[in-house]
Amino acid sequence: AQTVTQSQPEMSVQEAETVTLSCTYDTSESDYYLFWYKQPPSRQMILVIRQEAYKQQNATENRFSVNFQKAAKSFSLKISDSQLGDAAMYFCAYRSGLRGNKLVFGAGTILRVKS
Amino acid sequence: NAGVTQTPKFQVLKTGQSMTLQCAQDMNHEYMSWYRQDPGMGLRLIHYSVGAGITDQGEVPNGYNVSRSTTEDFPLRLLSAAPSQTSVYFCASRTGMNTEAFFGQGTRLTVV
């Protein structure tokens, strides 16, 4: 079974600075997708960024980028120029490319942004 | 487009009561799922459906039933609520294998 581990329960960052959230996963599959979701206090789950395992290029979405290390099974999220609105719980998630009926989530990282 | 709509947003139940959490999507998505979110555990899959009339169990199905009579609706039934089912419940949908999941706003359920 696949597992996703987020080793940082909480992180803090100063406004306008950069922060990196860690995620590692365990799988024997070669075809899969990785995601970062943001959950603000409103509880809504918002997709931040996705990465297909077959793509070597790291995904980017504006201030958000990932460092995807397939061999190391690592998928970290970098947030540049942090803003107060980035404060939220962040979840890393895995989905199989062959039997993709479920998302496997990590436990989450609470990100606090200081002004 | 409303996306994925869950009702109610909050609910308090007594142990042993039954209830149905509603989930509806207006995007004609084939795949629908129910997750529960507990502190320190992320979200875990309860049940899922790959189309009308087809459902299957996820990681934590005990105590929950689902059905999928239409593409749009995927209700989750708690037959006899227990305090261990106190959680936040999310419904999600997507259209195919290579697509993102869209989530509802969640239902916070407390069983006393």
Please give the Cα distance from B84 to A42 (Å, whole number): 23
Q: Per residue in B18-68, pLDDT tens? A: 999 999 999 999 999 999 999 888 999 999 999 999 999 999 999 999 999
**Nearest-CA neighbor of A67 among A34, A115, A111?**
A34
Q: Are A69 and A56 in contact (CB under 8 A)?
A: no
- Closest partner CB to A106 (pick from B42, B45, B50): B42
Q: Are B102 and B32 in contact (CB under 8 A)?
A: no
Q: What's residue A102's pLDDT?
A: 85
Beta strands in chain B (DSSP E): 4-7, 10-13, 19-25, 31-38, 42-51, 54-57, 64-66, 76-78, 87-94, 102-103, 107-111
Please give the Cα distance from A15 to A24 (Å, whole number): 26
What the block records as the tokens of B100 is 């993102």
Using 50, 70 and 90 to split pLDDT, how confident is the model at B13?
Answer: very high
Q: Which amino acid is at B33?
A: S
Chain-centroid distance of CA A67 in Å reads 10
- Any A CB within 8 A of B44 CB: yes
Q: Which residues lie closer than 8 Å to A5 by C-beta, 6 or more apart? A: A23, A24, A25, A26, A106, A107
- Residue B71 predicted with pLDDT over 70: yes
Using 50, 70 and 90 to split pLDDT, how confident is the model at B98?
Answer: low
Using 50, 70 and 90 to split pLDDT, how confident is the model at B1?
Answer: low
> Which residues of chain B lie closer than 8 angstroms to A36, CB-CB?
none
Q: Which residue has the tokens 């460092």?
A: A67
What the block records as the tokens of B108 is 């916070």
**Nearest-CA neighbor of A94 among A74, A111, A80, A110?**
A74
What the block records as the tokens of A70 is 């397939």
Name the closest residue on chain A to residue B36, using Cα atoms.
Answer: A105
pLDDT-flagged residues of chain A (< 50): none
Q: What's residue A8's pLDDT?
A: 97
> Which residues of chain A lie closer than 8 angstroms to B105, CB-CB?
42-44
Please give the Cα distance from A45 to A43 (Å, whole number): 6
Chain-centroid distance of CA B58 in Å reads 11
Proportion of chain B above pLDDT 70, given as a percent:
97
What distance in Å separates residue B75's CA from the closest CA in chain A?
Answer: 17
**A contact test, residue of B5, B44, B97, B105 with most A CBs within 10 A:** B97
Q: Which amino acid is at A112?
A: R
